[in-house]
Structure 1
Amino acid sequence: MKADIKDTTHAVEAAAVMRLLEGRPRLLALGEPTHGEDALLDLRNELFRQLVEQQGYRTVAIESDCLMGLVVDDYVTSGTGTLDEAMERGFSHGWGASAANRELVRWMRAYNDGRTASERLRFAGFDGPLEITHAASPRRALTALHGFLSAHVDADLLPCTADTLDRLLGADDRWTDSAAMMDPARSVGQSAEAGRLRLLADDLVALLEAGAPHLTTTASRDDWDRACLYGRTAIGLLRYHYWMADASPARMTRLIGLRDQMMAHNLLAVAERSPALIHAHNGHLQRDKSTTRMGGTLLEWWGAGALVSARLGEEYAFVATAVGTIRHQGVDTPPRDTVEGILYALPQDRCVVDAPRLATALDGTRPAPRVSPWFGYAPLDPAHLASGDGIVFLKDVPQS
């Protein structure tokens, strides 16, 4: 059996990843089992550079705020602003402070220098404007969409004025109140104003879609794409705020699922533009149902990867990242009967694994699930082994 398992592993390089796939998928997703470890992000950068240079991928999309990501895209495509500004204003979740993320953005800008528009790399955040503690105000998305339409369609067709939007939105801190995440009564998402904004957002997006034959010829492709992004984000945020105000037992399942729906819609839009490399947590990108425990309750939902895979089929590929140890977080040598333990026993410090072949090599024996002593790390679920396209395994994660 050991020889068979060894036969499922390869060197960590783009060519090995591509050999796991039938062809070049439109979206190639690389997951990670934990956030904030630069060793994993350095590995991502290495693979993504090779996949750009060897396979022609032209967009890099990561689990970060889709609107903030526009700042990074402007910097890498045209040099707008500075690298420091892109890192400070272009990432959510505090990830602009990561040295590995900074290196990714620096490399993308250097790659684009002197290249034609069609050859340049693009950057995208594909998460909603959401943090663990709160959701953003829909102001930016709604007003930007209204501004685009005001510049391109007859004013009589607009469902409201900019002043009406401003009045209904009110102060942004009403929307971003962190107490609303745990107390539905603090949310404004089901107020009369929010209800009116949901209807107006729907009308604005309908107007955008109805005018597509005209708008896609009179506006630049980038302006059109951004208007569509503003529309998706406005509707997604208003829907998210609505369910933040819900007090039913399904509230958190709804919110987690809505976040991944926003991610999926953004990924499908990215796929329409160019072949893209995706990076996020394994739980968002896997094809199987995602699960987490919150306050002792098990939550289940379909993640972005499952939703996109249902739409794109073989044009979506998912490679998980797995690790052996994260000792500085208390994650020590994995038990030998887990997936991570089996891979940890191999001589390589890192490898690309053919996940379906590994499942076959185990001769029908399902490894035991690994239990993490640290909430920030999610081991591979052995039940999902055969449904992924591959695994990138890193034996030991050093402290960043």
Structure 2
Amino acid sequence: MTTDLKETIRPVDPAAVMGLLPASPRILALGEPTHGEGTLHAVRNELFRQLVEQEGYRTIALESDCLMGLLVDDYITGLDGTAGEDAAGASAEDELDDVMARGFSHEWGAFPGNRELVRWMRSFNAGRPASDRLRFAGVDGPLEITAAASPRQALTALHGFLAERLGTGLLPCSGDALDSLIDPDDRWTEPAAMMDSSRSVGQSAEARELRLIADDLVALLGAHAPGLIAASTPAEWERARLYGRTATGLLRYHFWMADTSPARMTWLLGVRDTMIAANLLALAERGPVLVSAHNSHLQRNSSTMRMWDHPMLEWWGAGALVDAELGAEYAFLATAVGTIRHRGVDAPPSDSVEGLLYALPGDHHLVDAGRLAASLGEHLPDARVSPWFGYAPLDPAHLASADGIVFVRDAEEH
């Protein structure tokens, strides 16, 4: 068994990754079993750097708010023509501080690994022509664990884009009417709504009208696409489509926040991943994409989760949805970890998948998932049980559906 396992491992580098795949994928997804661990971010950053430099990837996407991510994209591409040419001293760090604070959701701008990634992306772009610059994107909806954002930003931006180019005659309502239906924002972001559907505004008369308005605005984008494209820069058109996807997805999410049926949580999980998938597919239209998110969002298998007093929930994650569209042009590398000792996750059981990989020498490896699954045969080990809710061990039944596994022996605080 040990000999067979040694034959499945490779270095974590672009040549080894591409050697596992039939062709260079349009979307290369790197999952993670937990969020925020410095060692995992360091491995991700190095692999993404090499893939950018050696394989020509020019978009890096993270599991963060797609609208907030526009600020990060502006920063690293240097829309003012100064990408990588920061002012000296504290002012440059202050600017980066602001981007990390306002450009990420889930407070993930505070993670040092994400900060280093953004810093490197901006430096990479220094002196490059716009056509060759690295781009950043958030692919998640404007969603937090206990709340969802107001639809104001997406709806008003889309309304303004159309009003400027088509005039107001075709629009389903005025800007003032739109503001009136949305006001006030804090009723949309009510934290108690996640646990108590009666606290959600998502099925109010105003929210239902806004869903119809959003649908009409998106329909206008499609019906007038030739003229709108001609009257816009590629970036303006790309962002208008993003606003449309986000407005309709966010209003759908709020609708199901207010639902009282047993299907409520399955709908919420599905809507979120549908938004992630749509954002990924849109990014892939402009070129190859590297994306990092939780394994459960990126895997090809259906995802499961147990929440509060709900029975086991099951839905199709973004990776499964994208794979259904792209087939071999989508590739998925799961990340597995041996220990996260500062979280109480000690050495894995020797008969778990993580335990078998943990027994091999080296700090981290790329594992041929298909060969590993074949070497294990029909009698797969039981899944590891995590003592910490924030870490999801690898499901042995999912091995054969991953293109590879990045195994990190010990995740340490950075």
Which category of TM-score, normalised to the shorter sequence, fits these structures?
over 0.9
1:222, 1:79 → 2: CA distance?
A: 11
2:184, 2:223 → 1: CA distance?
A: 31
What SS does the corresponding residue of 1:76 show, helix, strand or coil? helix
1:178 is aligned to 2:191: yes
User: How far 1:364 moved relative to its partner?
Assistant: 3.0
Aligned letter for 1:233?
Answer: T
Q: Where does residue 36 of structure 1 map in the other structure?
A: 36
Q: Where does residue 161 of structure 1 map in the other structure?
A: 174
Q: Where does residue 351 of structure 2 map in the other structure?
A: 337
2:335, 2:363 → 1: CA distance?
A: 13
What SS does the corresponding residue of 1:291 show, helix, strand or coil? strand
What SS does the corresponding residue of 1:126 show, helix, strand or coil? strand
Aligned letter for 1:63?
Answer: E
After TM superposition, the score normalised by the length of structure 1 is 0.98
Q: Where does residue 356 of structure 1 map in the other structure?
A: 370
What SS does the corresponding residue of 1:394 show, helix, strand or coil? strand
1:25, 1:133 → 2: CA distance?
A: 34
1:55 is aligned to 2:68: no
1:71 is aligned to 2:71: yes
Q: Where does residue 88 of structure 2 map in the other structure?
A: none
Residues 126-275 of structure 1: pairs in structure 2 closer than 5 A: 126-275=139-288
Q: Where does residue 407 of structure 2 map in the other structure?
A: 393
After TM superposition, the score normalised by the length of structure 2 is 0.95
Q: Where does residue 380 of structure 1 map in the other structure?
A: 394
User: How far 1:367 moved relative to its partner?
Assistant: 1.7
Aligned length: 400
1:94, 1:36 → 2: CA distance?
A: 10
Aligned letter for 1:100?
Answer: G
Residues 90-105 of structure 1: pairs in structure 2 closer than 5 A: 90-105=103-118
Q: Where does residue 85 of structure 2 map in the other structure?
A: none
1:111, 1:78 → 2: CA distance?
A: 11
Give the alignment's Cα RMSD to 1 decimal: 1.0
Q: Where does residue 4 of structure 2 map in the other structure?
A: 4
User: How far 1:361 moved relative to its partner?
Assistant: 1.5
Tell me the alpha carbon deviations over residues 278-308 of structure 1, each in whole angstroms, 9 at most, x when there is no partner: 0000000000000011124211100000001
Q: Where does residue 315 of structure 1 map in the other structure?
A: 329
1:153, 1:79 → 2: CA distance?
A: 26
Gaps of 5+ in 1: none
Aligned letter for 1:66?
Answer: C
Is contact 1:73–1:123 with CA below 8 Å preserved after alignment?
A: yes
Identity of aligned residues (%): 68
Q: Where does residue 320 of structure 2 map in the other structure?
A: 306
Is contact 1:37–1:399 with CA below 8 Å preserved after alignment?
A: yes
Is contact 1:291–1:301 with CA below 8 Å preserved after alignment?
A: yes
Tell me the alpha carbon deviations over residues 73-113 of structure 1, each in whole angstroms, 9 at most, x when there is no partner: 00000166932221111000001111111110010001101
Q: Where does residue 280 of structure 1 map in the other structure?
A: 293
Tell me the alpha carbon deviations over residues 266-286 of structure 1, each in whole angstroms, 9 at most, x when there is no partner: 111011111010000000000
1:292, 1:191 → 2: CA distance?
A: 29
Alignment match of 2:102 (pick from 53, 73, 89): 89
Is contact 1:79–1:109 with CA below 8 Å preserved after alignment?
A: no
Tell me the alpha carbon deviations over residues 6-60 of structure 1, each in whole angstroms, 9 at most, x when there is no partner: 0110112121111111111000000000001111011100000000000000000
Aligned letter for 1:218?
Answer: A
Worse-superposed segment, 167-176 or 153-162: 153-162
Q: Name segments (4+ residues, structure 1) moved above 2 Å.
A: 79-82
Aligned letter for 2:360?
Answer: L
Aligned letter for 2:313?
Answer: L
Gaps of 5+ in 2: 81-91
1:18 is aligned to 2:18: yes
1:114, 1:85 → 2: CA distance?
A: 23
What SS does the corresponding residue of 2:306 show, helix, strand or coil? strand
2:181, 2:235 → 1: CA distance?
A: 29
Tell me the alpha carbon deviations over residues 224-277 of structure 1, each in whole angstroms, 9 at most, x when there is no partner: 000000000000010000000001111111111111111111111011111010
Tell me the alpha carbon deviations over residues 366-400 of structure 1, each in whole angstroms, 9 at most, x when there is no partner: 12111111100000000000000000001111123
Residues 114-125 of structure 1: pairs in structure 2 closer than 5 A: 114-125=127-138
